[in-house]
Structure 1
Amino acid sequence: MWLGTKDTIFLGEKKLLNEIYTEIYLTDGGDIQINMQHGLRQIEMASRKLAETDKSIKPSDIFKHPSGKYKPIRTVLTTGIAGIGKTFLVNKFILDWTEGRTNQDIHLTFPFTFRQLNLMKGKTFRFAELIHSCIKETRDINEEALNEIFTTLQTSEHYDKCEFKVLFVLDGLDESRFQLDFTANEECSVDVTESASVEVLLTNLIKGKLLPSARLWVTTRPVTANQIPGKFVDMVTEVRGFTDRQKEDYFRKRFRDEEQASRIISHIKSTRNLHIMCHIPVFCWITATVLEDLLEAGERGDLPKSLTEIYILFLVFQIDQMKKKYGREKSIQYIQSLALAVAHGELDVRLKVLEYGRPSAAGESGGVGDVALNVVIRNLPHKENEVTLHSVNCLIKDGLKIKDIECVTAERKQSQSDRPGVIIAKFSCQDHKKTVMNKKAMLQKNKMYKKVFINHDIPKQQRTIESSFFAILKEMGTNKLVVQVGGGL
């Protein structure tokens, strides 16, 4: 069955998949482990794994055992972090199959995504009916013909011995909204022509009670891989993204101009975080989109080096595309929705909608943790021969009436005006800082300190985001953005 052609599979920038496709590193996944480390640390560790002696698997050999020996494989579970290329891999597999390059033993391929299947939650279907609902290319095959094929698959237990060779793909288990129950031990047979809920159909397909002689390929992020018990999985593979060589291959395919490609590759290699993140194919695409837009605009300054800059520029690019496609008013509605999704209920959105992360307790956020214990004090009068630390501790003791807390350091910045310079003060722990911040309103009732203000110190990274956010608002043609937290837009 011809489910797709190379003319129907595109990337976001309308390039054909075959033109831009770069081989992705796929390997035997071994045991499933849930990694709770910070995302960038996981990515860095994954990129280092690529240098180890793992044997890579060709995408076309996804149903062949890594040992090279013949072993019957019904279900393959492919894991990988977000954006690493799982869906891309599925699309390339199907494209190569439809164009006759690989896996020509397969007669039919039915690719489902859980994003599609979620829309069917709570409904009942016959299996052929569900396929027609989710995969429009199958509608040329009538339901009776599909049922005949499925009845044959139901009566056979082995893929190799079945008259029809069929592959089902379930892409994105991590997006599933279904409660898949694998604990029920039903002995009753499954009638493929009878209606059932989508949950029951999917559970029985994965368990092998439904169409036991069909092959099944499931993709997911590692954190949800354990939803499927190991006894229903014959082989686990892991997508590890791009090796260093594959990163270069991608950018050289994306940028046909050799000089331009070399400049971009050199820039990424010289910037550690970008180089680590480009291990993820989708980040390569984001980076390429941003840099291509800058170079086409004739930008001659330094290329962006931080992840924050890349994401901001990508957002500005997407807003510009959105304005062209939907118009200004619709664009503002979309950005409001984005702001609401990011805010999670705690904002003056004009400053915090694009806040990039929070300080971690261990100060591991890079440029954020170093100011987590700081406060900024404004308008504290400057005394001749003052010891700044003593002045701040007097403010805490006399102005806030806190007797058992002191700053550990305090530095007054040089002022460019007649006003007292800003003071950056640091506490020994978050509890001390929190106590001071909770009582700062008391200063307004104190004659000596009523003009003094205490605020959180803002990392340089966040200040960059805030200024960039106002630039985005300007780009949209407005100077404000209103989001109703906890309500509608």
Structure 2
Amino acid sequence: MLHVSNPGYREKYTAHIQDKYGAIKDRNSLLGENVILNSRYTKLIIVKERRARKERQHEIMTSGQRHAEIMSEQKRSITIGDLFAADEKGKTPRIAVLLGAAGIGKTLTAKKIMFDWEAGKLYNKKFDYVFYINCREVNFDTEQGSVANLILRNCPDQHALIQAMLGNPERLLFIIDGFDELRLSLDQPEESLCSDPWEKKPMEIVLSSLVQKKVLEKCSLLITTRPAALEELRQCLHNERYAEILGFSETERREYFDKYFGDKGKARKALNFVKENEMLFTMCFVPIVCWIVCTVIKQQMDEGEELAQTSTTVTGVYLLYLYDLLKDPRRKSK
């Protein structure tokens, strides 16, 4: 039997990962426009716990100064490499749930994990293969499938390797991204679940069997979701670990501006302008807001307009962003 970590097969798969996840598309990009993932990705604050809903809401409504204090108080922040690390009792989880609000960076983090694993920087001693499952795409699966089919989507033309992969489930990681967007119900009766990774079933049965560990029991799962869908997800899990993305600290906001503008002078000018409005700067802890703010300011700079003409409210920035999309019919937001 082929070993799952056979170098020849691994090279083909990692090349596929690099092509698929090494670049990202901005939401206002033209067809064929891409950004190198590592040129934009900025570290996010992640904590190994679940915070109360009221605490999350309070954080967003606080002043910039209080928000900075809250972020600095997160003594137990972790990295994405810690999600499957052994705890203080030496126990390593097989399921990790990564929580986060809309636009906080869950999908980008999932793709960063894929890319860093391919580059040999993350989880290489733990997992031979990492597979990405997009729940939004799964919603359109109307035909029956199997766990083996899910693997083949990630590594096409690798039929000969599938049997070896399935024979070493403890070396496999499945990233299930966007559980909150899943329209299929995973609340399936136990008798309908499958234990054979080759058995073809409706997709809700296949995913439910994978999440509930009825198939490939020893594989690992990383599931991203918004907090609103957490209770539904918890009903399917057992012995899971939770972590939550809080967003950018002030230091990371500065780094993001540097990466986005690619020119320290322009980045400093833009950042200083944003910091004049405490609430606007505070809301930039959310990556998608930070991106929109940078996009609008760059547009103003490129057109030679004074930044004073740029709205300093979050709503105003959104309107300017929308205006820019509408005035260029070639651009289509994703």
- Bucket of the pairwise TM-score, normalised by the shorter protein: 0.7 to 0.9
SS at match of 1:50: helix
Aligned partner of 2:113 in structure 1 is 93
Aligned partner of 1:76 in structure 2 is 96
SS at match of 2:113: helix
Aligned partner of 2:218 in structure 1 is 213
In the alignment, structure 1 residue 227 sits paired with structure 2 residue 232: yes
Counterpart amino acid of 2:325? Q
Deviations 1:238-289 (A, max 9, x none): 0011001110111022223333212211122221221121000111111111
Aligned partner of 2:264 in structure 1 is 258
1:176 and 1:107, CA in 2 relative to 1: closer, same or farther beyond 3 A? same
**1:275 aligned to 278, 281, 298, which one?**
281
SS at match of 1:228: helix
Contact 2:23 2:37 in 1 (8 A): yes
In the alignment, structure 1 residue 296 sits paired with structure 2 residue 316: no
SS at match of 2:101: coil
**1:149 aligned to 140, 143, 165, which one?**
165
1:214 and 1:42, CA in 2 relative to 1: closer, same or farther beyond 3 A? farther
Counterpart amino acid of 1:54? K
Counterpart amino acid of 1:305? T
1:90 and 1:297, CA in 2 relative to 1: closer, same or farther beyond 3 A? same
Counterpart amino acid of 1:177? R
Counterpart amino acid of 1:140? D
Correspondence 1:309-348 to 2 at 5 A: 309-321=316-328, 323-324=329-330
**1:198 aligned to 192, 203, 214, which one?**
203
SS at match of 1:267: helix
In the alignment, structure 1 residue 4 sits paired with structure 2 residue 20: no
Q: CA deviation at 1:10?
A: 2.1
Aligned partner of 1:50 in structure 2 is 71
Structure 2 CA distance for aligned equivalents of residues 147 and 46 of structure 1 = 50
Structure 2 CA distance for aligned equivalents of residues 319 and 243 of structure 1 = 32
Q: Which has the higher mean CA deviation after the structures are superposed, 210-219 or 265-274?
A: 265-274
Aligned partner of 2:4 in structure 1 is none
SS at match of 1:224: helix
TM-score by length of 1: 0.58
Structure 1 CA distance for aligned equivalents of residues 204 and 166 of structure 2 = 18
1:70 and 1:284, CA in 2 relative to 1: closer, same or farther beyond 3 A? same
Q: CA deviation at 1:222?
A: 0.5
Deviations 1:354-389 (A, max 9, x none): xxxxxxxxxxxxxxxxxxxxxxxxxxxxxxxxxxxx
Contact 1:87 1:171 in 2 (8 A): yes
Aligned length: 310
SS at match of 2:186: coil
Q: CA deviation at 1:72?
A: 2.2
Contact 2:293 2:317 in 1 (8 A): yes
Structure 2 CA distance for aligned equivalents of residues 49 and 146 of structure 1 = 46
Q: CA deviation at 1:49?
A: 3.1
1:310 and 1:233, CA in 2 relative to 1: closer, same or farther beyond 3 A? farther
Q: CA deviation at 1:48?
A: 5.1
1:188 and 1:252, CA in 2 relative to 1: closer, same or farther beyond 3 A? closer
SS at match of 1:286: helix
- Structure 2: give runs of 5+ residues left out of the alignment: 1-12
Structure 1 CA distance for aligned equivalents of residues 199 and 131 of structure 2 = 19
Structure 2 CA distance for aligned equivalents of residues 275 and 216 of structure 1 = 35
SS at match of 2:326: helix
SS at match of 1:218: strand
In the alignment, structure 1 residue 307 sits paired with structure 2 residue 314: yes
SS at match of 1:216: strand
Structure 2 CA distance for aligned equivalents of residues 254 and 248 of structure 1 = 10
1:324 and 1:190, CA in 2 relative to 1: closer, same or farther beyond 3 A? closer
Tell me: higher relative CO, structure 1 or 2? Use CA pairs within 8 A at least 6 residues apart: 2
1:289 and 1:36, CA in 2 relative to 1: closer, same or farther beyond 3 A? closer
1:11 and 1:126, CA in 2 relative to 1: closer, same or farther beyond 3 A? closer
Structure index of larger Rg: 1
Q: CA deviation at 1:171?
A: 0.3
1:55 and 1:235, CA in 2 relative to 1: closer, same or farther beyond 3 A? same
1:235 and 1:171, CA in 2 relative to 1: closer, same or farther beyond 3 A? same
1:276 and 1:217, CA in 2 relative to 1: closer, same or farther beyond 3 A? same
Structure 1 CA distance for aligned equivalents of residues 251 and 104 of structure 2 = 16
Aligned partner of 1:239 in structure 2 is 245
Q: CA deviation at 1:181?
A: 0.5
Q: Which has the higher mean CA deviation after the structures are superposed, 92-101 or 9-18?
A: 9-18
Contact 2:194 2:209 in 1 (8 A): no
- Structure 1: give runs of 5+ residues left out of the alignment: 154-158, 160-164, 326-330, 339-489
Structure 2 CA distance for aligned equivalents of residues 185 and 31 of structure 1 = 31
Counterpart amino acid of 1:252? D
Q: CA deviation at 1:147?
A: 3.9
1:46 and 1:89, CA in 2 relative to 1: closer, same or farther beyond 3 A? farther
Counterpart amino acid of 2:113? F
Contact 2:193 2:205 in 1 (8 A): no
